[in-house]
Structure 1
C-alpha cells in the first residue's frame, strides 16, 4: 500500500453494563411494557395459591390406573 492510505487497525471498546444491582428487573424502566416477572399479565411475585377443583369436577374425573394396569398397557404398546 502506498503512504497516502493509512492502514487503520481495528479497535474494540468495553462498555460498562448499566446494571447497578444483580436484579434484572432494575434495567427495565417500566416492567409492565416489556413483560417478564413484573409484567401486568403474569406477575410471578403476586401469584395465587393452588387451584382446587370443585367436587362436581372431581367426580367427573376418571380414577388413576393401578401399577399393574400401567405395566400391562406399557407391555402392549412395546410389543
Structure 2
C-alpha cells in the first residue's frame, strides 16, 4: 500500500449541446436512427403484401355480426 492519501477530485465538463434540439448532437442522424433517419422515410416503404391465391383461399371466413355478438354475450356472462 502506498502512503499517498490524496483526495479524489472531479471536474464538471461543459455539455456539447449548443441548442435544445437533441438531434444536433448526432453527426449523422441516418446512421444512428431516430426521427430523422433514412429508415423512417415514408417514401422508401414497400407496397402492401398481397398473399398468393392458395394462401388467401386457405384462410377461414370472417364471422358475421350475429356470430360475433353471440360470442361476445357468451364471454360476458
What's 1:29 paired with? 27
- 1:1-79 alignment to 2 at 5 Å? 16-17=18-19, 27=24, 28-37=26-35, 38-39=37-38, 42-45=39-42, 46-79=44-77
Deviant stretches of 4+, over 2 Å: 42-45
Gaps of 5+ in 1: 1-14
TM-score of the superposed pair, with normalisation by structure 1 = 0.56
Gaps of 5+ in 2: 1-16
TM-score of the superposed pair, with normalisation by structure 2 = 0.57
Q: What RMSD, in angstroms, separates the aligned Cα atoms of the two structures?
A: 2.6
Paired residues in the alignment total 58
